[in-house]
A and B are shown apart, each in its own frame.
Chain A
Amino acid sequence: MPGTRMGEKALTCLLCLSALIIVGILLAVVGYIVYKGLAMINLDFIMQAPKRAGKEGGISSTIVGTLYLTVLSLAIATPLGVGTAIHLEEYAHKESYFAFLVKLTAETLAAIPSIMYGLFGFVFFVIYLKLGWSIWSGSLTLAIMVLPTITRTAQEAILSVPREYRENSLALGASKWQTIRKIVIPAAVPGIVTGIILSLGRAIGETAAVLLTAGTSLGMPLSPADPARSMSVHLYMLAMEGLSMERAFGTAFLIIILVLFINYLANRSMSLLSHSGG
């Protein structure tokens, strides 16, 4: 008996330690970036255009570029992903070869390293479709990259809508599409939003794929046909080329703030889902 109790205590300590390590790492990373980056943050850093390749000035054009890229890529990926999810869960036969193929594709897409997407986007969008290094090329590449996440989360959300809702709606004389539009999708919205927000975080943080498709231009992007540098790419360039470590940390700080804010939104919509699902 004492032996097992000792063992149990040791195990509890180990588990507690591993939890502490994770918290410690997170705090160290975030803390260091906040410590180094906070000094850089002021309105000028956010509002001013970069000067001398980023050695001086702010990062305004990269903030605009990041927003452009993420919003546009999600505007492309969301209807495609949600549409695919609706098709798979509501229309396709569950055991059909097509459904299997789409599922396999979505899972495989999710496992591909992002640099591969970058390479594909570079060859296909930038060169073959002659879109050049542009927000279009970058957004289309990011859209392909986040498509699996959006599709899978939308599928989960649609799947978690109780079957009884569908039966009741159909039994009241609603058509299949009316049922999907008025009952299934509204009930699945919190889950779908969660997927969109997770994808947002991924799109903001992506560096390799954006570097190869949207380019590294520091000019203020005006239309989606312009090239742009995202914040993550800017951070990479600043650090890699030793242009300005203070500005690199300042950029990192803003990215972290953005990602934390997005995680908060994701948690909010998840808890919304669990409340309405109960």
Chain B
Amino acid sequence: MEKAVKMKSRELNLFYGNFQALYNINMDIEENRVTALIGPSGCGKSSFLRSLNRLNELIEGSRISGEVFLDDSAIYEKGINVVELRKKVGMVFQKPAVFPMSIYENVAYGPRIHGIKRRGELDEIVCRSLQSANLWDEVKDRLHVPARQMSGGQQQRLVIARVLAVQPEVILMDEPASALDPISTARLEELIAILKTRYTIVIVTHNMQQAARVSDYTGFFLDGCLLEFNRTEELFLNPRHNKTEDYITGRFG
């Protein structure tokens, strides 16, 4: 049963100054699936993730060649509105950076930026987003306390709620569980399984078991190249490439 392709990259090269971080990446990211990106540190998986919402542009001296498509529009085309792109392609970072404001204000930040002012509407968005992030029951009585008083796992789900509040279509996750304890990680993985019914998810992870558990597709990056990209079971059970096999069996990384 083939699904529609939500995002795709074509011959994508990424440079930071004279250093080439990505070589010729072609990848199809299917809608309502979880795509995991794995590989050793510095292999380019996070750079690739950040090129999907043009966040790599924050680094001085970065440039790309090739193309990335969201649905059918090329996101690096001149005249593309980066704000609209980032609304549709949300991002969850490695370290949950909750803003120094209340839980409520954190979630309402995105909608406010995009022009929603009515209190009732904001209340509804905040409530719905927190529910979708499996956080509502834990915080519904203390929405106006500083968000930093929450635990690490709760903060990471708050960040996810904050992304959901902008109503994205794709969610990029950059090692979202690396700072979490095993229980919080398990909760996050459950959440990803629920979220994929409504969103397209791309997740960078260092944890091979996690990639195997949560994803439908897995891409293995090495030295800036996408060495292998396949259905997750296929990649883990029958890796086509020696290097892939070495990596997933823990012989290097």
Interface residues of A (CB under 8 A from B): 93-94, 162, 164-175, 178, 182-183, 186-187, 276
Contact = CB atoms under 8 A, between A and B. Distances in A.
B110 interface: yes
A168 B93 contact: yes
B17 to A, nearest CB: 12
B95 A173 contact: no
A170 B58 contact: yes
B86 A165 contact: no
A155 to B, nearest CB: 18
A172 B86 contact: yes
A167 B109 contact: no
B99 A171 contact: no
B114 A173 contact: yes
A178 B82 CA distance: 14
A68 to B, nearest CB: 36
B166 A173 contact: yes
A173 B99 contact: no
A174 B55 contact: no
A227 to B, nearest CB: 46
Interface string B8-37: 000000000000000000000000000000
Given A162-B97, A165-B99, A187-B100, A171 B90 contact: yes
Interface in B48-75: 53, 55, 58, 60
A167 B110 contact: no
Contact of A167 (B55, B60, B87, B162): B55
19 contacts: A93-B60, A164-B95, A165-B99, A166-B58, A167-B58, A168-B91, A168-B159, A170-B58, A171-B53, A172-B109, A172-B110, A172-B166, A173-B83, A173-B166, A174-B109, A182-B113, A183-B99, A186-B100, A276-B100
Contact of B87 (A162, A168, A173, A186): A173
Nearest to A176: B58
Interface string B163-193: 1001000000000000000000000000000
Scoring B84, B97, B166 by chain A CB atoms within 10 A of each residue's CB, the highest score goes to B97
Mostly, the A contact residues are helix
Contact of A170 (B86, B99, B163): B86
A178 B112 CA distance: 11
B143 to A, nearest CB: 19
Given A164-B95, A167-B58, A175 B109 contact: no
A94 B60 CA distance: 10
Contacts of B53: 171
A169 B95 CA distance: 14
Nearest to A172: B110
A172 B99 contact: no
A178 B111 CA distance: 13
Contacts of A168: 91, 93, 97, 99, 159, 162
A171 B159 CA distance: 11
A165 B95 CA distance: 11
B83 A175 contact: yes
Q: Which 7 A-B pairs have the closest CB atoms?
A: A164-B97, A171-B91, A173-B86, A173-B87, A172-B110, A174-B113, A173-B83
Nearest to B88: A173
Interface string B208-236: 00000000000000000000000000000
Given A164-B93, A276-B100, 5 more contacts: A162-B97, A164-B95, A171-B55, A172-B109, A172-B113
Given A178-B113, A182-B109, A172 B162 contact: yes
A220 B39 CA distance: 75
Nearest to A278: B148
Contacts of B113: 172-174, 178, 182
Contacts of B90: 171-172
Scoring B83, B90, B100, B109 by chain A CB atoms within 10 A of each residue's CB, the highest score goes to B100
A45 to B, nearest CB: 45
Interface in B85-139: 86-87, 90-91, 93, 95, 97, 99-100, 109-110, 113-114
B162 to A, nearest CB: 7
Contacts of A166: 58
B55 A170 contact: yes
